[in-house]
Structure 1
Amino acid sequence: MDLANRVKSLTPSSTLAITAKAKELKQQGYDVVGLGAGEPDFNTPQHIIEAAKASMEAGKTKYTPSGGLPELKEAIIKKFNRDQNLTYQNENIIVTTGAKHALYTLFQVLLDEDDEVIVPAPYWVSYPEQIKLAGGKPVIVQATEDNSFKITPEQLQKAITKKTKAVIINSPSNPTGMLYTKEELKQLGEVCLHNNILIVSDEIYEKLVYENKQHVSIAQLSDELKEQTVIINGVSKSHSMTGWRIGYAAGNNLIIKAMTNLASHSTSNPTSVAQYAAIAAYTSPEDEVMRMKEAFESRLNELYKRLAEIPGVSCVKPQGAFYLFPNVKEAADNNGFQSVDDWVKALLEEEKVAVVPGSGFGSPQNIRLSYATSLEQLEEAVKRIKRFVENHM
């Protein structure tokens, strides 16, 4: 049977592929240290689990509105007002089956054939694929390490054409962990307003910001930018609820209505029980969120320091999320490998350390390391990576 053209060009997720390979080796009895996962290693806070249980016991296990429970929308609205001083109404919010589904649905309602979306690289692996699935064209703009992996207003302006429909801003970023400042966002926003292009602001890591830095949403900066922005967020990273699959989008009511109509024909509604869990996440104190954040920051500082001791490895220190994105091209070259991808494969085979090659993120000189695992595992991983590099010199 011949498959549809829309799926033939899809590139498999490099993060899921490396995670699957690591699990396979573990099942074979190998001691694998996996630094590929894009999810917190903490369990969902207990009060959120209890809220889900209570909803099930109360019989709240039926269909909900396609765009999400009104109570959850209200909790999200209050969260925006509390955290970013942004005001939304229920009609400006759609709850989705994860933030990934919010992005997917947005591109489906936004893009016609050959419409362009500007995607800064390094990028999260699913952005280009979702754009292609909607018939659009991802236009990759390469950010440099010299500018902390952030694109400039000049780069953005140069990439805009008559077909440009939107630009993605992911801050803090996956895979780099970099954070745009208020002034940087303001400058990018001015370019978007001048050219009338939509801003897709992926803020899924907003709670994981370090060194006393502050996350700023581009929608906060002016009423005009708020109207021009669709914010994508969810509880997966902030509350360690990846498997619950609750995300959301906030923006222009016409866009949100179209997304809701499409969702009604694809998922019917986000899982009812998970929505009640998300209500608990957003209506309770953030003690557990802050505890996880502090643990991540401690791990970041330790891992960053130890990576600097490995020959041929350099790294821009991130300010958010839970990833490091070191450049290992020099190490791979010194070790006699044709590419960083080959270096990564050999590292997994020889030292049983799973990292994600940067090629999947549009940056083939880098690798992504997740520090969403214990400090002991991180220390063991660095020890093995250093041994691997030195053995091949």
Structure 2
Amino acid sequence: MTQVAWWVVVLSFLVIPVVWVLIDRAPALVAGFTGRKPSAGSPNEDFEILVPIYGSVSYLENVDYLRQYGAKVLLCTTNGETAAFYRDLAGIAEKNGFRIYRAEAVAGGIGSDGRRATSGAARDMLVREALEHVVRAAYVVCIDADSVTERPFGELVGMLAANGYDFASVPLVPSNTGTALGQLQAYEYRSAMKLRHIAPWQVSGACHVARAEAHRAVMRRHSLFFQGNDVEAGLLAKALGYRIGHLPFAVSTAVPDTVKSWYRQRLAWSGGEFRLFVMNLHLLVRHPVFWIYGAIVTTLGLPLRWVTLATGGWALLVIFGLHFVATVCVHWRVRTPWLLLLPLYSLFNSLVMTPLGAIWYVRMAVADRNAGFIRARRSRSSRKLNPLATA
């Protein structure tokens, strides 16, 4: 048991600093290897904005921001909402010049507790249906109902076109960081966004941009499993041969501001990570570094981390100290007193949320009758897939 614990210590000495430094230096590394930064290009206005909204119009928090785009905005909703919801949504659309797409083939996306479901196919089916039946622009921007930007979307689409990308991720910046929980998530997002310079296929549902035809092809193969759905879209785009990049276009998005809402979100996210890293091991061939880390180090290595925690002593102190030093060094330029809690925050995610994610994945898969397997291979048949077909 002691030998196992010290093996974990050695692994931590080698892996943790390297991972943190690579994440922090990702932009410079990418620029160095490629020899260029993304081109700004000229603004391109040939786009439509898809905003999935269901359950309650109160979730549509960025109406004032979206108003500048008028008819480019397509509010995508289900056929399972209340009469009051449709009435209120119609009022918002009429006042701001938005369009509404009500997908008759998509049932409501509300859980049994009356809140938006953290699983289910509603959101992705709305996007897929809208792309198939309504979107006619050359480009599409998908954005959550609580996200905003400082720069116009025309610039983002222009960058996508100028760099020859078909799909692109963008950096997300938490907008509500007034609490300790918000500050911890801000550090977490900062590292995750830098990682996308190396792995741009890790797109986010909060906001991403794509050529409409590429996005359409991706969604025809999408499993419709909600958690991990955004990364799945990026993986499918990569597998289908589309060019994917990361564009420096900051998007502000709201993050959970209470422990309860944070826990509910992270439990679902952990289930999505288990689905991607464990249930889709065939993707190891395409992205071995990330899947070895996610499936082997994070998931299969969980018992070893618990062994190290249980044995305690110098091994645990060394691991924690090394992680703390690396964390402070990486985030030194944006340091706050809350940075002291980040190692504990990461430890909780690693030891507690990882195993709970496996359980939550099973629950979601059974409830939705969808295992979330990703069909990354090209179909031998060139016939168009039925946009309403399930995975």
TM-score, length-normalised on structure 1? 0.26
Q: Could you say which structure has the higher helix fraction?
A: 2
TM-score, length-normalised on structure 2? 0.27
